[in-house]
Amino acid sequence: MRKLIYIAIFSLVAKVSFSQQKPVIKVGAKHFNEGYILAELISQLLENDGFIVERKFNLGGTSVAFEALRTGEIDVYPEYTGTISEEILHLKDEAQLKETLAAKYDLEISKPYGFSNSYALVVSTGLSKKSALKKISDILAYPELRIGFSNEFIKRRDGWENLKTVYNLPQSARGLEHGLAYKAILENEIDLTDAYTTDGEIAKYKLVVLQDDRHFFPDYYALSLYAQKLNAGAKQVLKKLEGLVSEKEMQKMNAEALFANKTHAEVANEFLVKKGLLNKTTNNYGYGFGDILTQSLVHLKLTLISLLLAIAFGLPLGMWLRNYPMLAKMVVYIAGILQTIPSIALLALMIPLLGIGTVPAVVALFLYALLPVLRGTITGLRAVDAQLKKVATAIGLNSKQKLWMVEMPLAMPVILTGIRTAAVISVGTATLAAFIGAGGLGEFIVTGLALNNTQLILMGAIPAAVLAVLIELFFEWIEWLLVPRHLRQKSS
Amino acid sequence: MEGLEIRVENVVCAYGSKTVLDRVSHTFSKGAVTAVLGRSGSGKSTMLQVINGLKKAKSGRILVGNDEVNDSTIQALRLKTGFVIQHTGLFPHMRVAKNISLLGQLTGMDEREMHARVDELMNISLLPLSYKEKYPHELSGGEQQRVGLCRALFLEPPVLLMDEPFASLDYVTKQSLYTYVEDLQKRNARTIILITHDFDEAVRLADEFVWIENGVVRETGNKEKLMSIKPLYLQG
């Protein structure tokens, strides 16, 4: 176990110190199929031009990606005109897009890649035929339609809430993960969902796109959104993508990534080769055992650092608080509130403060791990037999000796249970760290979710489960070392 | 080690508004076993806690030998004062040997000396040396109480405070422990304050007694006097 930690720390250090020679461009991507492919197009063109690319994919939504760009955690990512104007800048007039980005955020955009990927509402062919659904206004007549939208779509300005007003729709919608919505529609769990017009699933699953007869959705031309201070050479490279990709080509690439068992990198590579922008593929872009190992180590690193922080902070705090029951109650209460913040929200809250990557992920995981450690320490210490504490004082132990020789050892089973809970929570929550570019096994899970690729999800989920089991065993061993058998927790 | 005289002078002690010791004065003779008698709630346990500094007196003072009990002296005085309570108060996470030698460890006693002292005390107490590696819960109640006494005696304290140490034990075990305490006193006469509500136990072990009722001293005296007040004490 210790060896693994060393390896993890070493590989991190090596990685950081290794990548200092050529200009490094940090390319971001939102966590959906097309986002990955476009980011790969950008990345591979940059690499072909001699830049070193750091891929920060899997960013959990527009707000995360934009914050990351604004704070310099990434340099460029693919975005859509409609999303920028509606969702980010809240503009009335799309003509002001460029000026506003430059004035408010020091950001620039490239010319569009060519295709537009608009939002659309889709239903199955069967339902479309049966109920004569062709246009969005047609669904007015079917208030019983079961609707499931991606959470982002529900909240966006160009999303469900305003769409509902414009079309005067009576239905209400449930939120679900975009990658899962197609599955839900196929399995007849929902009737209608949101889609991107370039989604590969539309053709594959024979879904019908409802016509936007009141022209609610703005245009969504894909383009590169990047910092003004981006390397001039890199900006030149980005120009190569302008006007390069037609809607058909994008659909095809999306479908290939989804259904032809190709990685995003392969799909992007083939496209660029076909367009004569790259010679030939040089890298093997598939995931291998090495990737699982690397990400497992990253995962372990995130988990262990945050856990150690939680112990380093929670244990002394709990020890100090044991004599102040009212204060202890308050602190546990506050830590409890932190715990109730949904993990993805907490991660998103971290971005303006700490950017993206390892640091905010560790801080968020630390906050989650803190409560169990703190509560375990306080509860454990308070549960120590008052008589024994009195005896310890009476026979001549000073308060420090009493704490370390009597109270801590007797509280240890409960404290260890707290730490163990914290560890398992950390392993689980760390899978979400991928959303803010911290890597870990969540990379596979998040990408797998976006692709609806069970194999990829399992590549992340199984090692994560193994890690959780290993951590359990590790703490069982610690307990075996520290706690005499008759004082161990019954549950273990 | 010689015993120390303990003087309690005009001690007032209260829990909130309830006075439990009301201007109590008594001198515990050096090298004698003094039984503190009284019913539950009479204040006899509080007397012991005041001497040990677990409970602070509102007024009055306590002298152990020449030292007045206060915040600056109490830590050192506690090491000179063995303390034994009902249900032993042994630490469940420490093996028997560790329980006995704990104070030696804290006072920086030499490792070899500690081992020898543990063996010596266990031999005197008729505890098999094989018990050293056992945990307290693996021993019988009487054996645990002997271990408790070994712990209290480890630093050869001149004073031993005992708060109903034999209360929960069966008759036979009690008798053997009485003999044990008597043996200890023969070897080395300490000042022992024995809190008990068991009159016969007091008669068996004590050289002197203090009878406390409602926070004041009702009677004091030697063993003869103690036997003479038996009917009165048992009446209540």
Contacts of B173 (CB under 8 A, 6+ apart): B140, B141, B142, B145, B166
| Residue in A closest to B98 by C-alpha | A405
Interchain contact, A487 vs B75, CB within 8 Å: no
Chain A residues inside the 8 Å CB shell of B79:
396
Decide if A328 contacts A272 (C-beta within 8 A).
no
Say if residue A332's pLDDT is above 90: no
Q: How far apart are CA B211 and CA B90, in angstroms?
A: 29
pTM check: above 0.90: no
Contact B93 A484 (CB under 8 A): yes
d(Cα B32, Cα B179) in Å, to the nearest integer?
A: 16
A237 versus B41: the higher-pLDDT residue is A237
Distance between B150 CA and the closest CA of chain A, angstroms: 12
ipTM at complex level? 0.87
B82 touches chain A (CB under 8 A): yes
What is the DSSP secondary structure assignment for residue A75, as one 8-state letter? S
What is the tens place of the pLDDT at every residue in A157-193? Answer: 888 989 999 999 998 888 888 778 888 888 888 999 9
At residue A7 the predicted structure's pLDDT band, cuts being 50, 70 and 90, is low
pLDDT in tens, B5-58: 899 999 999 888 888 899 999 999 998 999 999 888 888 889 989 999 888 888
CB atoms B82 and A387 under 8 Å: no
Query: Nearest residue of B to residue A390 by CA position?
Result: B54
B52 neighbourhood in chain A, CB within 8 Å: 394
Instruction: Return the bridge partners of A123, or none.
Output: A192, A208
What's A407's DSSP letter? I
- CB burial of residue A275 (10 Å; 0-12, 13-18, 19+): middle
CB of A119 closer than 8 Å to CB of A217: yes
For residue A367, the SS3 value is helix
To 10 degrees, the CA torsion angle through A368, A370, A374, A375?
0
Q: Do B54 and A393 touch (CB under 8 A)?
A: yes
| Backbone conformation region of residue A67, classed left if phi is above 0, alpha if psi is from -120 to 50, else beta | alpha
Is the per-residue pLDDT at A17 higher than 60? no
Q: 119-138 in B: which are within 8 Å (CB) of A? A: 135, 137
For residue A465, pLDDT over 70 is answered with yes
Q: Does A393 touch chain B (CB under 8 A)?
A: yes
- In angstroms, rounded to a whole number, what is the distance separating the alpha carbons of residues A28 and A169? 36
Give every strand in the sheet of A173-175, ordered side by side: A173-175, A147-149, A192-196, A119-124, A207-210
From CA A97, how far away is CA A86, in angstroms rounded? 10
pLDDT, average across residues A63-88:
89
B168 token code pair: 């929960």
Q: How many CB pairs under 8 A join A and B?
A: 52
Q: What share of chain A is helix, strand, coil (3-state, %, to 5)?
A: 65, 10, 25
**Torsion sign over Cα A396, A398, A400, A402:** positive
Got the DSSP string for B27-57? EEPTT-EEEEE--TTSSHHHHHHHHHTSS--
Which neighbouring-strand residues pair with A116? A221
Instruction: Look up residue A434 and give its DSSP letter.
Output: G
H helix or E strand, kind and range, residue A310: helix A289-321
Q: Is B152 an 8 Å CB contact of chain A?
A: yes
Q: Is a pLDDT exceeding 80 seen at residue B74? A: yes
Cβ-based neighbour number of residue A82 at 10 Å: 21
DSSP-based three-state secondary structure for B220: strand
Q: What is the pLDDT of residue A6?
A: 54
Q: Considering only CB atoms, which chain B residues are within 8 Å of A405?
A: 91, 102
CA distance linking residue A470 with residue A490, whole number of Å = 20
Q: Does A214 touch chain B (CB under 8 A)?
A: no
Does position A12 have pLDDT exceeding 60, yes or no? Answer: no
Rounded CA separation A96/A94 (Å):
5
**b vs e for A356-383, b when ≥16 Cβ sit within 10 Å of the residue's Cβ?**
bbbebbbbbbbbbbbbbbbbbbbbbbbe
Q: Testing the interface with A: which of B91, B94, B100, B160 to mutate, by most A Cβ within 10 A? A: B91
Nearest CB among A394, A401, A483 relative to B83 is that of: A394
Packed helices B96-106 and B111-124: angle between N→C axes, nearest 10 degrees: 130
**Is B93 in CB contact (< 8 Å) with chain A?**
yes
Q: DSSP string of A223-258?
A: EEEEETTS-HHHHHHHHTTTTTB-HHHHHHHHHHHH
Chain B nearest-CA distance from A398, in A, is 7
- pLDDT on residue A283: 57
Q: How far is A320 from chain B (nearest CA, A)?
A: 21
Distance from CA of B235 to the nearest CA of A (A): 32
So what's the pLDDT on residue A407? 94
A387 vs B92: CB contact, 8 Å cut-off?
no
How much is the average pLDDT of A90-118? 87
